[in-house]
Amino acid sequence: MAEGSSTLRYSTMGTPALVEILSDPIRTDAEKEAAQYELSSRGYFSPAPELVSVNPEELPAESDRQERAKAWRNEDTMPIGCWLVPALLGLWLAYVLAYAPTQASAGAVIPKMCFLENRLTLVFPNEYPRIELMEAKNIDIYIHRKEFEAIPYPDRESALRDIGKSWDNFTKWYYFSSVRIRDIQTGKDLATYSCTTGRVSLKSDGWF
């Protein structure tokens, strides 16, 4: 009964399906022999003498074949996943940490509900800060150094944190955005607020 079932299974297959079995790397030798024998019976080629008799018991069950196919696909795709995810993560970090803070965002505007400009007016009442929106929601604020240094040193950190927090709601943590206070004459950084960590770095503190 097993031999008749195997013969029927291959005899009812179309020729393209039999040819596909011969080129399928996950098929067993017994399956390929059976497919080759069936093709030879249709006149496509003569089988080798050792292929004329195929033991149906050597043919694996359908469930076993599917398991081998699944394992073969996993082995084939796993190396791709191993390097693709770190590569994409590396590209994203290079964008948000190195490229985005140096590139102006064309056409970007400060949202109407943002109180950044109001906060700048309170901290620097005698200054007209120049605000530049950068890529990845970074902001550069240019002022004169003397206005920045007019804030008593013990009060600078809290003043800069108030300015930075007014922008927190308009960015995302994974952008690693920052608000930078810069000297409008030299472009040097005077202070930086990290929207991700909430940390303020003054020029004399070193950078994180």
DSSP assignment of 8-24 equals HHHHTS-HHHHHHHHH-
pLDDT at residue 62 greater than cutoff 50: yes
Say if residue 133's pLDDT is above 80.
yes
Question: How would residue 164 be classed by pLDDT, with cut points 50, 70 and 90?
Answer: very high
Of the candidates 65, 2, 63, 5, the residue with the CA atom closest to the CA atom of residue 32? 65
Burial of 181 (0-12, 13-18, 19+ CB in 10 A): buried
Lowest mean pLDDT of 27-31, 50-54, 140-144, name the range: 50-54
Which own/partner contact pairs does 16-23 have at CB distance under 8 Å and 24+ positions apart? none
Q: What angle do CA 140, 145, 148 make, to 5 degrees?
A: 80
The token duo for 80 is 């791709």
**pLDDT surpasses 90 at 163:** yes
pTM: 0.56
pLDDT on residue 58: 52
Reduced to 3 states (helix: H, G, I; strand: E, B; else coil), residue 65 is helix
pLDDT attached to residue 139: 92
Higher pLDDT, 138 or 173: 138
C-alpha closest to that of 139 among 98, 199, 181: 181
66-105 in b/e form (b: 16+ CB < 10 A) is: eeeeeeeeeeeeeeeeeeeeeeeeeeeeeebeeebbeeee
Question: Does position 50 have pLDDT exceeding 50, yes or no?
Answer: no
The amino acid present at 20, given as its one-letter code, is E
Which comes out higher in pLDDT, residue 126 or 2?
A: 126
- Cβ pair 190, 181 in contact under 8 A: yes
